[in-house]
């Protein structure tokens, strides 16, 4: 009996989901991607996600989501992006978007059923679930149960290959899988180059440094700005 | 200690969700409404939902949802709306929209958390859950567990006051609560008047007949067409 290798992947344009995609492909999955436009502060991460999908010849949809009621520094330009989140703190950061993964995974469930996929890949990991309740393994397990009750098809799995990895370990895995990190975008702000100061930038830069290398995205940027 | 009576209600423009709204209000809830535009065959039910929300001075959002991958006679005009569904059959009808309530309730979860509501009302009932997996009590219970894992706030309930009622009983309840049935729309097609033949029309007409009365919507329509 052949195993069903059709899959859905949530692609954000960031580093984690890119590594998750390359991991899924390395295991023989044939992913189709969902990319979400939830009125992020900037379009850079959507463009990055589309680029990564296109690079891999994925079938993909960009889904526009209106969350007019959400107060988050990721969607509301009036709320300042602050940095300095402590990964060991259980405090939920201002970048929390209420129900974001709940909504994303709901679309993924509908999409998966429609294309006959049994696996949904998401790049959630331990450093996120310290702060975001919708990245926690308990939520992901519980949500999997719920969608299998609510769909016509049964046996859909939510796959989280990065769940217990640190950012450094995620990058190490990505390097092995030849993930084109230079095309990923992590900065919460949407400047020409990453700000280097927001939490997302800090964790990324730090992880590359731990591996003794420069972030390929920054290397590309300095190349551009130097005009070389 | 005062009980939190803020609520979210999913309003479709149909009869069931209208009765659910009036029921919630009769119990002292203060609902805000979510109305979904998922590229239904017609705009009539969205207009009806907006009208009912406005009549009740509800705060509401109309949310546009792209489900380009879904093959359903409710969203794909190439698929014929067939009638003749047997309510005792467990077969899933062609009007099934994969993951619809999963997605709707996900938005409701995010909205509820944002406005500090602890109750989400949905008009799901027994005659639906014979056919639609995302109307079944097992799904609704399981989904409630999942959102409480995935949100920052805890203790959100999904309330289904119609769950064990037949269409006839739902209408009886609505009559007691003075639901303006003439403003609700149930027909799967979007003609000037209800087609009277699709399953949704048939079940509605039949239920009003069982109560020895004409559907107020049809009465209004015949009034219009006769020019009286």
- Residue in the block written with tokens 């099934």: B96
What are the structure tokens assigned to A155, written together? Answer: 């046996």
Report how far Cα B99 is from the mean position of its chain's Cα atoms: 15
CB contact set of A28 (below 8 Å; sequence gap of 6+): A5
Calculate mean pLDDT across residues A123-127: 87
pLDDT at residue A228, rounded to an integer: 34
Given pLDDT bands bounded at 50, 70 and 90, which one contains residue B18?
very high
* Residues of A in Cβ contact (< 8 Å) with B150: 99, 101-102, 133-134, 136, 139, 142-143
Rounded to the nearest 10 degrees, what angle do helices B100-115 and A137-150 cross at?
140
pLDDT at residue B87, rounded to an integer: 56
Report how far Cα A51 is from the mean position of its chain's Cα atoms: 14
Given pLDDT bands bounded at 50, 70 and 90, which one contains residue B228?
very low
pLDDT for B43-82, tens place per residue?
888 999 999 999 999 999 999 988 878 776 666 666 565 5
Q: To the nearest whole percent, how much of chain B has pLDDT over 70?
A: 85
Q: Does A138 touch chain B (CB under 8 A)?
A: yes
Contact B189, B42 (CB under 8 A): yes
Whether residues A134 and B150 touch (CB distance < 8 A) is answered with: yes
- B89 has a pLDDT exceeding 70: no
CB contact set of B219 (below 8 Å; sequence gap of 6+): B182
- B220 has a pLDDT exceeding 70: yes
Whole-Å CA distances, A92 to B93, B130, B160: 42, 40, 31
- B4 has a pLDDT exceeding 90: no
More confident residue, B1 or A189: A189
Q: Which of A70, A97, A152 sits opposite B98 (nearest CB)?
A: A152
pLDDT at residue B83, rounded to an integer: 59
| Domain ranges (residues) in chain A | 6-166
- B19 has a pLDDT exceeding 90: yes
Query: Does domain A6-166 correspond to CATH entry 3.40.50.620?
Result: yes
Q: Which positions 172-191 of B are in contact with A (Cβ < 8 Å)?
A: none
Q: How far is B7 from chain A (nearest CA, A)?
A: 14
More confident residue, B150 or A223: B150
Q: Rounded to whole angstroms, how far apart are CA atoms A160 and A17?
A: 10
Q: Rounded to whole angstroms, how far apart are CA atoms A210 and A122?
A: 25
Calculate mean pLDDT across residues B26-37: 96
**Strand duo A119-121 + A6-10: pairing:** parallel
Given pLDDT bands bounded at 50, 70 and 90, which one contains residue A182?
very high
Exposure b/e, B27-38, CB count within 10 A at least 16 = b: eebebbbbbbeb
What are the structure tokens assigned to A192, written together? Answer: 């020409």
Name the average pLDDT for chain A: 87
Q: To the nearest whole percent, how much of chain A has pLDDT over 90?
A: 58
**Model-level pTM?**
0.88
Q: To the nearest whole percent, how much of chain B has pLDDT over 90?
A: 58
pLDDT at residue B91, rounded to an integer: 67
- A226 has a pLDDT exceeding 50: no
- A3 has a pLDDT exceeding 90: no
Element (H, E) at B30: strand B30-37
pLDDT for A53-91, tens place per residue?
999 999 999 999 888 787 766 666 665 655 555 655 666
More confident residue, A63 or B220: A63
* Residues of A in Cβ contact (< 8 Å) with B142: 142, 145-146, 149-150
pLDDT for A17-63, tens place per residue?
999 999 999 999 999 999 999 877 678 889 999 999 999 999 999 99
- A4 has a pLDDT exceeding 90: no
* Least confident range of A9-13, B7-11, B161-165, B192-196: B192-196
* Least confident range of A90-94, B20-24, B53-57, B145-149: A90-94
The complex scores an ipTM of: 0.86
pLDDT at residue B226, rounded to an integer: 40
CB contacts < 8 A, A to B, total 135
Calculate mean pLDDT across residues A88-95: 66
* Residues of A in Cβ contact (< 8 Å) with B107: 67, 99, 103
CB contact set of A116 (below 8 Å; sequence gap of 6+): A4, A6, A153
pLDDT at residue A23, rounded to an integer: 98
Given pLDDT bands bounded at 50, 70 and 90, which one contains residue B177?
very high
Whether residues B98 and A106 touch (CB distance < 8 A) is answered with: no
pLDDT for B92-147, tens place per residue?
677 778 899 999 999 999 999 999 999 999 999 877 666 788 889 999 999 999 99
Q: How far is A154 from chain B (nearest CA, A)?
A: 11
pLDDT at residue B199, rounded to an integer: 83
Closest chain A CA to residue B141: A146
Contact B145, B156 (CB under 8 A): no
Q: Which of B61, B136, B150 sits opposite A149 (nearest CB)?
A: B136
């Amino acid at each position: 009996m052949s195993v069903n290798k059709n899959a859905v992947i949530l692609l954000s344009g960031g580093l984690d989901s890119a590594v998750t995609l390359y991991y899924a492909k390395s295991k023989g999955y044939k992913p189709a991607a969902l990319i979400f436009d939830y009125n992020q502060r900037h379009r850079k991460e959507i463009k990055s996600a589309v680029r990564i999908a296109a690079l891999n010849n994925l079938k993909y949809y960009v889904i526009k989501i209106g969350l007019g009621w959400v107060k988050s520094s990721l969607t509301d330009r009036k709320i300042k992006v602050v940095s300095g989140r402590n990964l060991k703190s259980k405090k939920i950061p201002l970048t929390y978007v209420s129900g974001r993964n709940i909504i994303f995974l709901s679309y993924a469930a509908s999409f998966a059923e429609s294309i006959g996929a049994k696996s949904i890949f998401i790049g959630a990991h331990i450093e996120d679930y310290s702060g975001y309740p919708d990245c926690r393994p308990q939520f992901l397990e519980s949500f999997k149960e719920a969608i299998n009750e609510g769909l016509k098809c049964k046996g859909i799995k939510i796959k989280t290959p990065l769940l217990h990895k640190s950012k450094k370990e995620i990058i190490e895995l990505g390097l092995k899988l030849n993930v084109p990190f230079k095309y990923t975008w992590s900065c919460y702000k949407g400047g020409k180059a990453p700000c280097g100061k927001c939490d997302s930038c800090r964790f990324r830069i730090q992880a590359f440094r731990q591996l003794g290398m420069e972030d390929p995205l920054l290397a590309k940027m300095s190349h551009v700005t130097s005009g070389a």
